């Protein structure tokens, strides 16, 4: 038989066991925190009707999707390229069945038929939460609180959640007579960190800003200091814009709420430069930077929007949400030497190894006892030499190895090897349970 070379498609990811265990640990943290804040799980099909998914139409997106059309069928299906459009479709389709405000989390893979290049995936996981149908500014504060809990538990060092409100930006432009070109100015501000001051000035001038306006934009975007400093500076600008005032009040409510929630002040910072794109967000916006790995970019972003599902329903569906691109985050952090530990190859805490077949039955009962107390246990009954058995246990990264030979089987004991401490002791099964579970 001619063999086919086994290979995954380019641009698609898969992990070896040690990596997958660590990836799942992060994923479980995200899920647990989302649930702790009362978000409901949601899952939607990987494929959507093309005309529904691409209702928005046009642009780059349509070139970057996996579309499927069967011969003889007039139904065209497309793989989802994010979790937001499926959410919009779901909420609009099930509007009468859902209870609003509707808060859901969705951990799922999305697909983009991108050109292959480093750091770009054609399949990646997005872990989203959104609250749909609420205008309460307190809701906006729950997202940074969740981000804080997640990244604290991740243990990748300190991090900063950058906050802004689009009403402040839009109101500011109104206040200085730039409402008509605000999109262009925002687009320029968005890349402030990547270009020089001279380039910035040139670009703003080419948009049509006069010298005073350029100066005011630069002054505005360089307002820095503590959160209270920035709020005070904003109030002191004396701008005449209802949007601006509304934005400042909402930002202040957000900051106050974060303090009451106990999020450390060092972890959230107003940053007036943050816009998060041009069209979608209309209120609070978020970005999250890992302080030790700023090169990764924002690891969790989002914001408030006015209109989730305008293509599907006339009902106004305001919302606010964030997304963690876990595949991308994981792949970036994998490149940091020593950060992601992948030595553990099994979720089991211990492996039980009968030394000979004659002890298989005893080994089975020991493993059953361990499992009945909640200890994740692997039973290893391969007919290997003791040396090969221990080599296997070592490579698998087990914390404990439990050997049962003739002596143990007849005495009703086990020999527990603590692999980290390089120590061993022969004890009763009951004592072994306590040793292994640390109780």
Site string for its own copies, 382-421 (x = CB under 8 A): xx--------x--xx-------------------------
Residue 66 engages its own copies in binding (rule: CB under 8 A) = yes
Residues 68-127 that bind its own copies (CB under 8 A): 68, 70, 75, 77, 79, 88-90, 92-94, 97-99, 101, 103-104, 109, 111, 113, 122-123
CA distance 330 to 345: 17
When the beta carbons of 139 and 204 are compared against its own copies, the nearer one is: 139
DSSP element (H, E) containing 403: strand 400-404
Q: How far is the CB of 188 from its own copies (least distance, A)?
A: 29
CA distance 333 to 154: 11
Question: CB-based contacts of 289: which residues, under 8 Å, 6+ apart?
Answer: 159, 160, 162, 296, 297, 298, 299
Q: How far is the CB of 400 from its own copies (least distance, A)?
A: 12
Q: Which residues on adjacent β-strands are paired with residue 401?
A: 351, 417
When the beta carbons of 203 and 349 are compared against its own copies, the nearer one is: 349
Residue 304 engages its own copies in binding (rule: CB under 8 A) = no
Residues 353-382 that bind its own copies (CB under 8 A): 360-361, 364-365, 368, 371-372, 374, 376-379, 381-382
CA 124 to centroid of chain Cα atoms: 11
When the beta carbons of 127 and 142 are compared against its own copies, the nearer one is: 142
Contact status, residue 243 vs residue 136, Cβ threshold 8 Å: no
CA distance 225 to 95: 44
Give the binding range for its own copies (CB under 8 A) out of 242-250, 265-273, 341-349, 429-437: 341-349
Site string for its own copies, 243-282 (x = CB under 8 A): -------------xx--xxx--------------------
Residues 191-230 that bind its own copies (CB under 8 A): none
Contact status, residue 169 vs residue 175, Cβ threshold 8 Å: no
Residues 9-28 that bind its own copies (CB under 8 A): 9-10, 12-17, 20-21, 24
Q: Which of 26, 129, 132, 139 binds its own copies (CB under 8 A)?
A: 139
Give the closest residue to 342 by CA, choosing from 11, 24, 1. Answer: 24
Give helix then strand counts, H and E, for the chain: 15, 16
Please tell me whether residue 126 adopts helix, strand or coil conformation. Answer: strand
Question: CB-based contacts of 384: which residues, under 8 Å, 6+ apart?
Answer: 392
């Amino acid at each position: 038989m001619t063999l086919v070379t086994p290979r995954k498609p380019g641009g698609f990811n898969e992990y070896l066991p040690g990596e997958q265990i660590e990836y799942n640990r992060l994923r479980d943290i995200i899920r647990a925190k989302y649930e702790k804040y009362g978000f409901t799980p949601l899952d939607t099909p990987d494929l959507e009707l093309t005309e529904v998914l691409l209702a928005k139409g046009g642009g780059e997106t349509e070139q970057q999707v996996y579309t499927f059309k069967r011969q003889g069928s007039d139904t065209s299906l497309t793989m989802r390229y994010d979790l937001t459009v499926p959410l919009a479709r779901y909420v609009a389709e099930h509007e009468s069945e859902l209870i609003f405000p509707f808060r859901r989390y969705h951990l799922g893979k999305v697909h983009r038929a991108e050109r292959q290049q480093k750091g770009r995936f054609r399949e990646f996981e997005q872990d989203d939460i959104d609250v749909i149908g609420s205008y309460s500014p307190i809701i906006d504060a729950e997202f940074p609180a969740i981000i804080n809990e997640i990244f604290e538990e991740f243990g990748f060092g300190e991090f900063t959640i950058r906050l802004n409100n689009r009403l402040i930006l839009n109101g500011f432009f109104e206040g200085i007579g730039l409402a008509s070109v605000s999109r262009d100015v925002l687009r320029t501000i968005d890349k402030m960190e990547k270009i020089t001051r001279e380039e910035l000035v040139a670009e703003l001038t080419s948009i049509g800003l006069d010298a005073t306006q350029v100066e005011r934009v630069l002054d505005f975007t360089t307002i820095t200091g503590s959160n209270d400093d920035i709020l005070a500076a904003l109030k002191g600008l004396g701008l005449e814009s209802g949007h601006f005032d509304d934005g400042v009040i909402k930002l202040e409510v957000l900051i106050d709420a974060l303090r009451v929630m106990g999020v450390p002040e060092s972890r959230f910072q107003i940053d007036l430069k943050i816009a998060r794109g041009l069209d979608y967000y209309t209120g609070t916006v978020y970005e999250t930077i890992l302080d030790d790995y700023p090169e990764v970019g924002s690891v969790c972003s989002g914001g408030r929007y006015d209109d989730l599902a305008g293509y599907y329903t006339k009902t106004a569906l305001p919302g606010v949400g964030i997304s963690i691109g876990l595949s991308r985050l994981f792949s970036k952090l994998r490149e940091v030497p020593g950060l992601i530990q992948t030595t553990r190859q099994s979720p089991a805490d211990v492996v039980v190894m009968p030394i000979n077949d004659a002890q298989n039955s005893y080994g089975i009962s020991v493993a059953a006892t361990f499992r009945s107390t909640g200890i994740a246990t692997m039973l290893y009954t391969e007919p290997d030499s003791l040396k090969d058995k221990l080599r296997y246990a070592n490579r698998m990264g087990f914390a404990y190895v439990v050997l049962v030979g003739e002596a143990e089987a007849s005495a009703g004991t086990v020999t527990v090897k603590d692999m980290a401490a390089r120590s061993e002791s022969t004890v009763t099964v009951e004592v072994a349970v306590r040793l292994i579970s640390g109780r």
